[in-house]
Structure formats: C-alpha cells, structure tokens
Chain A
Amino acid sequence: MFTKPSNIVGLLFILIISCVTVLAFQGLIGFSQNGADLALLQDSYFHSILLFSIKQALLSALLSTLLAWPIARAIYYYPNIYFKQTFLSLSLLCFVLPTLVLITGFVSLLGLSGFITPFLPEQWSLYGLQGILLAHVYMNLPFAVRAMHQQLQNIPDSSWILARQLKFSRWQRFCMIEIPSLSANLGLIFGFISILCFNSFAVVLALGGGPQSTTLEVAIYQALKYDFNIPEALTLAWSQFAIAGIFFVLLYRSNSVPWLSKDSTQKLWIPSIGKTTKGIYLLIYTGTFVFMLMPLIALLPGVLAANYSIDLIVDVLQALSLTLVLGALSAVFAMLMAYCIMLPIRSAAQHRQLQLQNLLQWLANHTLIAPAMVLCVGLYILFLPLIDLDQLGIIFVLILNTLLILPFAIQQIRARVLQYDSDYALLYQSLKLTFGQKISIEWGYIKPVMLSTFALVLLIAMGDVAIFSIFGNNNLQTLPWLIYQYAGSYRIHEASFASAILLLVYFLILLKIERAKHHA
C-alpha cells in the first residue's frame, strides 16, 4: 500500500502535520533548555486542574449525549415537525459558533445583570462548573443531535418493513433496530465531545472561576502568558497530550462496525407515532429550539443600542473580508488534505490492517488532542528568530488553522468514504475504472458530506481567536479578533453589532450549503 502514489500523498501529509507538532514542542523545549518541570506532577494544584479537566469533559459529554437522544428521536420519528431544516442548520451553527459570541449572549442572559438571572435561585452564578457545562452542552448537544439523527436516518426501510412483518413491539424495535443503529457511533460521539471539552479553552477562560475551575489548556495559557514558565507549561502540555491521546486511541480501538446500509431517500416505513408521543416530542423539540435561540436573540438589544458610524462599518466589513478569505483558504486546504489522508487509511481498512489503520488515524487526528496553545506558542518561539513574523504571521494563521480544523474534516468524511469502500470496493476494482471515472463516481457519492463538511470547517476556521492572538497583527484583523478588541475595550454595543454580523454570515453560509447539499 505504501507504493501507490495516491497513498504516498496522504502519508506525506500525515508526516508534515506530525512534523509541525514535533517542531512546536521542539521550539518550547529548545527555549527552556531545562525540559519539563516533573515536580509539578506531585503538586496538589496539578491534581486539582487535572481532575477538573476530566470531570467537566466527561460531564459535558454525558449530558450532551444523553439529552441529544430524545431530541434526535423526536425529529426522526416526527419527520414533518415544523422548521426541521432550520433546526438542523441552527444545530450546526451552535456547534461552530465563535465562543466569544456565545459568551456575550450567555452573559446578557444569565450574567450578573442578565435578563433571566432575576428568575434564578440566589446562589446561581454563570461562572464555575455550571456555566462551563451550560456552554459546553450548548455547543455540543446540537452536534450530538445531528450525528444521532444521521445514524437513525441510515436505518434502511427494509429493517422497518421486516419489523412490521415480524410484528415487533415498540420495545423490540427500540432494542433490535434503534439501539444497534446508534450504538455503533454512540461511543464515538461521546468520546469526540469529551476530547473537545477536555481541550476547551475559550469557554473555560471566560467562565472558569479561578483555580477551582481551570482546565489544563487554560493552565498552559496562564503559565505561558503570566509567568512565562515554560517548564510548567511543558509538563501541563505533555500531560494533556498524553491523557487526550490515550482517550483518543481507546476511542478508535473500541469503534465497532458502522451501521452500513444502502442509501435510500425513501423513508416510507418509519413507525408512526401516537398523539401523546407526538405532543411529548413537540415539547422536547420546542424547548431545545428556544434553548438554542436564546443566547443569539440576547445579542439584539446591544445591536440596537450601537453607535453606528462609517468607521465602525468599514472596520467590520474589512475584518469580515479577511475572515472569509482566511477561512475559505483553510477550509479548502483542510478538505484536500483530509481526502488525501483518508486514502492510506482506507487502503489499510480494506486490507484489514487494523493496527496500521488506527495508527494512521491517530497521527492524522492528533492536532485535535495536541494543545493548540502549545502548537502556536512553540512555533512562534521557534520561528521568531528566523522569520519576520509581523509580515508572515498571517501565513502561520492559515497553516495552523488548517491543521486544527483538519481532524474535524477527517472525522466528518471518514464514515462516508469507509462506507463507500465497504459497499463498492469490490465493484470499482472489478470494473477497472480509470482514475477520472473513479473520482467522478466517488464524488457523486460523497458530495453531500463534502459540502456540509466544507461548511463546518469553514465556519470553525472563521471563528478562530487563539491562533490569531499569537500570529495576527493589528493592521489585518479578523472579525472575531475585532469583537474581542471591542469587548476588551468595553465597547459592548459595537461588539454585539460585530457579533450579529458574524452570526448573520454564518447563518447565510449554512443555509446556502445545506441547500446545495440537498440538491446534490
């Protein structure tokens, strides 16, 4: 498999991204010269942030996954429920929403002088574990809903027909059809959310309340920013890398056989539901809709109160243009890389080389678990004496953004291309198709997933603040960075206006892509 040119390109990309991580760590190690501060591992401060990182990650993932299940069932079993498509688009929006926008919305709603705060118990505080869980659930529950809904959609009509013919009870349908369809990916969804929350940065930075509610990623940031204590940052970074890495390996090893089925747009045999069940589903669905919309609507008063000037509009539009260009380039590169990287992984899967497949997947996705702050700072320190980072910093923003969204792209297209191979590998090999024919047929099959994945990674890339905070400069500002600047100088109304513009653009992109996906 290592001799096929297409596989070599994929392996080369895996090597490049691995080298970037090694270089980043090398940058930090080389600068400090003393290496990691291992005594920290005995420190109670380290134990407390480690425990908190794991606790909040597992709780966030558990809540998101458990709550998503009834919602996914509601939209699956009640297919003509109102505004279903908008709901699904909004779900994606919540997942990719720039954290700053979300925090602004939550503070307006549930902060000290929030609209809802007077109706909450006196001891309520948005800061601390409950605030972090709320924000994590807000961002990840909709992702879990979409993923589970997709799994349910993959149940072939023939299964429901067979269930009817065999006179299955509701419980039997649940155990024999629904659970197997979800269980294949349930662990993956839970694990994916756990890793995202374990590495969560901006939410914990904004809503974490002191050392009691700090994660490893934020502790790394604090060690670098306030103390410039590189040995401590390295110890924390290695710990985070190791724990998230082990988690990730376990996740992929336990990944069971996917629920495969032929594509069918016909969904004529989904079991019908009674009036009471319909009512319950409506209630769950409407509640979720309101929960997702509230922080966004809470931005409106700020937008109305903003002091609009030509300067403000020009600044926002300029920042928006740069955001779109950087986001689009990163997304295109990430999609190309993800597709190429999947080629050797697919080849290993077809040859049943499970260990090789897992190793390649781990290497390809490792930027999901490598602390983003370490990658950025390590490369910054390494290249600072070699390159004019003021001039070329924007290129690093592009490269790092591409690498950090790459795991999302791989995660999204992986199941689809593996299913394609599982269904058709024998056929396309047997037909001896030309390269052009292979690509053209495969494109027809993966196009909807490629489009929605492109939208997803585009929006994630557009929301970046962390990378820009290190490599960006004030002459060229992205819109999220501009929002951060406004918020940092207490120009909250301007921040709300810029957030609303960013949200609007996000929503338009989502609508466009979802429409294209449905026509594909």
Chain B
Amino acid sequence: MLDIQQLHIQLGDNQLRYQQQISSGDIVTLQGVSGVGKSSLLLCIAGFIQPVSGQICWAGKPISSLPIEQRPVAMLFQENNLFEHISVLKNVRLGTANIDDSQIFAAAKELQIAEQMQKMPQQLSGGQRQRVGLLRTLLRPEPLILLDEPFAELDNQTRTIAANWVNKVARAQHKTVLLVTHQMEDVDILADRNWLLS
C-alpha cells in the first residue's frame, strides 16, 4: 500500500497538502486544475522534491528519506524522458535489464512503435516519444508507477490503445499506478479510483 500521511510540500509561495492511501495493485488517476500540485506530488514520491513535513510509506515502510535510487518507483515525466543522443532501443533498455529484447519488441508492437526502435529520438513524433517512455516505465521492475500525463500527445485512437496496454500490464504484474490526467476517458478505462485534488 502507498500511504501518504499529512504530506506538506512548499512550492514557492504555495503550500500543498496531501493525505491518501492507495492499495497495492490499484490504478488511481489524479486530477485537478493546473497548479494544484499534481506533478509536484509525483516528483515528491519519486524523491525529486523534499517535503516540508509528513511521510510517504510503501508496504508499511517510510520511503521519504530514501535516496531516489532506492525508492520502489518508476516515473514517466511530462517531458525529457529520452536521451537524445542514443537510439530508441538503447533508451528502452536502460532500467529494464530484467527484460529481453523480444519482450520489448512485443510490447512495442502493441503500442505501434516497433518500427521506431532503431531510430534516434529526434526522428520520432511527440506521440511516439511518449509511447517509448511509457513502454520503458511499465517494463521496469519497480512496483510503484508514476505517470505524469502519459497520453497528452496521443490522438484518440492511440490514446485508447495505450491506456488499455497500461491497464493490462499493470494488472498482470500487480503494479500500483498513480496517473495524472485531464481526460475523463482515461479515468473510465483505467481507474479503480479517481483522486481529485483541490
């Protein structure tokens, strides 16, 4: 279980406060108006922002004081998910040492990016880049997945394909997913619960 207890983040003049429990294996969508602190929460769970007070626990153990590298988290950022100077396939292999290439290509095929794997990131469209990032994040062994607007650059059809793929993989591998989205359609396809921040 992911347990967010009295978490307080200071972002400039903004005071952000969070309290939530998410059961293991659940997919929770996170919604709210811009600036309400959705991405900040994800960055705090991943260890990139230090909270002022409060605690984040995973499986009963506090993780707030752990270095980034030791947290059980795989995160997809809004941007800058790929190293521009190495190929797409090499990018995907980073952090997925547990997965062989056949599994990577099988997943890439489902996400309709199998033909892009040998290219360089700058040859890809925004939507393709986003799916590459998504693919790697879900294939990583970490049990807690944080996705910051993962479908923002996808058309409706591809969006549905990607959302269904996330749903399938997360459920099969019993991953806990916290996903920021502005689309109710994503909530309908994926969410066990929708967390509305205000």
A residues bordering B, Cβ < 8 Å? Answer: 262-266, 423-424, 426-427, 429-433, 437, 441, 444-445
- Also in contact, A445 and B122, with CB within 8 A (given A431-B94, A431-B95, A433-B95): no
Check if A427 sits within 8 Å of B80, measured CB to CB.
yes
Q: Is B83 within 8 A of A263, CB to CB? A: no
Asked whether any CB of chain A lies closer than 8 Å to the CB of B151, the reply is: no
Q: Mark B66-85, 1 if CB is under 8 A from A, else 0.
A: 00110001110100111111
Which residues of chain B are within 8 angstroms of A441 by Cβ–Cβ distance?
A: 83, 86, 94
Looking at the assembled complex, report how far the CB atom of A262 sits from the nearest CB atom of chain B, in whole angstroms: 5
Give the docked Cα–Cα distance between A432 and B136 (Å). 13
Q: What are 12 A-B residue pairs whose CB atoms fall within 8 Å in the complex?
A: A264-B84, A266-B122, A424-B80, A429-B48, A430-B73, A431-B94, A432-B68, A432-B69, A433-B94, A441-B83, A441-B86, A444-B86
B189 to chain A, nearest CB (A): 25
Chain B 41-74 interface residues, beta-carbon cutoff 8 Å to A: 46-48, 68-69, 73-74
Separation of A445 and B85 alpha carbons in the complex (Å): 6
* Nearest-Cβ distance from residue A417 to partner chain B, whole angstroms: 14
Known: A426-B48, A429-B47, A430-B77. 19 other contacts (CB 8 A): A262-B84, A263-B84, A264-B122, A265-B122, A423-B80, A423-B84, A426-B77, A427-B77, A427-B81, A427-B83, A429-B69, A430-B48, A430-B73, A430-B74, A432-B68, A432-B69, A433-B94, A433-B95, A441-B83
Taking CB atoms, residues of chain A closer than 8 Å to B86 are 441, 444
Q: Count A-B contacts at CB 8 Å.
A: 49
The residue of chain B having its C-beta at the shortest distance from the C-beta of A446 within the complex is B85
From B73, B82, B95, name the one whose CB has the most chain A CB atoms within 10 angstroms.
B95
Q: Which residues of chain B have C-beta atoms less than 8 A from A433's C-beta?
A: 94-95
Question: Considering the chains assembled together, what is the distance between the CA atoms of A427 and B84 in angstroms?
Answer: 12
Q: Which of A265, A424, A430, A444 contacts B75 (CB 8 A)?
A: A430
Query: How distant is the Cα of A431 from the Cα of B75 in the complex, in angstroms?
Result: 8
In the bound complex, residues from chain A placing their C-beta under 8 Å from that of B73 are 430
Check A426–B80 contact: CB distance below 8 A.
Answer: yes
Q: Which residue of A lies closest to B77 (CB)?
A: A426
Residues of B within 8 A of A437 (CB): 94
Q: Which residues of A contact B82 (CB under 8 A)?
A: 427
Number of interface residues of B (CB under 8 A): 20
Residues of A within 8 A of B81 (CB): 427
The 9 closest A-B pairs by CB, nearest first: A431-B95, A429-B68, A432-B69, A444-B85, A445-B85, A431-B94, A430-B75, A263-B84, A262-B84
Within the assembled complex, what's the spacing in Å between the Cα atoms of A430 and B83? 13
Shortest C-beta distance, A84 to chain B (Å), equals 23
Expressed in whole angstroms, the Cα–Cα distance for A131 and B75 within the complex equals 60
**Binding site of A, secondary structure by majority: helix, strand, loop or mixed?**
helix
Q: CA of A433 to CA of B91 in the docked complex: distance in angstroms?
A: 12
The distance from the CB of B88 to the nearest CB of chain A, in whole angstroms, is 14
CB-nearest residue of chain A to B140: A431
Residues on B facing A (Cβ under 8 Å): 46-48, 68-69, 73-75, 77, 80-86, 94-95, 122, 140
Query: CA separation between A429 and B94, bound complex, in Å?
Result: 11
Contact of A263 with B80 in the complex, beta carbons under 8 Å? no
B122 lies within 8 A of A430 (CB):
no
Main secondary structure of the interface of B (DSSP, over half): loop
> Measured between alpha carbons, how far is A431 from B80 in the docked complex, in Å?
13
Among B46, B48, B69, B83, the most chain A Cβ lie within 10 Å of the Cβ of B83
Q: Which residues of A contact B77 (CB under 8 A)?
A: 426-427, 430
A263 and B85 alpha carbons, distance in the complex (Å): 8
Chain A residues near B74 (CB-CB < 8 A): 430
Closest-CB distance, B128 to chain A (whole angstroms): 15
Inter-chain CA distance A472–B68, complex, in Å, is: 51
**Chain A residues with CB under 8 A of B69:** 429, 432
Q: How far is the CB of B175 from chain A (nearest CB, A)?
A: 16
In the complex, the answer to whether A432 meets B80 with C-beta atoms within 8 Å is: no
Residues of B within 8 A of A423 (CB): 80, 84
Cα–Cα distance between A430 and B94 once the two chains are bound (Å): 11
- Give A424 to B122 CA distance when docked, in angstroms: 15
How many angstroms from the CA of A444 to the CA of B87 in the assembled complex?
11
Q: How far is the CA of A431 from the CA of B47 in the complex (A)?
A: 12
Residue of chain A at shortest CB distance from B142: A432
**Distance to closest chain A CB from B44 (angstroms):** 13
Nearest B residue (CB) for A437? B94
Give bound CA distance, A444 to B84, whole Å: 10
Whether B46 contacts A430 by the Cβ 8 Å rule is: yes
CB A392 to nearest CB in B, in angstroms, measures 44
Contacts of B122 in A (CB 8 A): 262-266
Q: How far is the CB of A444 from chain B (nearest CB, A)?
A: 5
CA distance A263 to B122 in the complex (A): 9
CA distance A495 to B95 in the complex (A): 59
B103 to chain A, nearest CB (A): 18
- What is the bound-complex CA distance between A265 and B121, given in angstroms? 12
What chain A residues lie within 8 Å of B85 (beta carbons)? 263, 444-445
A441–B122 Cα distance when bound, in Å, is 16
Of the listed residues B47, B84, B85, B140, the one surrounded by the most CB atoms of chain A closer than 10 A to its CB is B85
Is A424 a contact of B95 with CB atoms below 8 Å?
no
What is the minimal beta-carbon distance from B139 to any residue of chain A, in angstroms?
Answer: 12
Task: A424 to B46: give the CA distance in the assembly, Å.
Answer: 15
Whole-angstrom CA separation of A345 from B1 in the bound complex: 38
Q: Chain A: which residue is nearest B82 at the CB level?
A: A427
- Quick one: closest A residue to B69, CB to CB? A432
Q: Which residue of B lies closest to A434 (CB)?
A: B97
Known: A262-B122, A444-B86. A430 touches B68 (CB 8 A): yes
Q: How far is the CB of A104 from chain B (nearest CB, A)?
A: 43
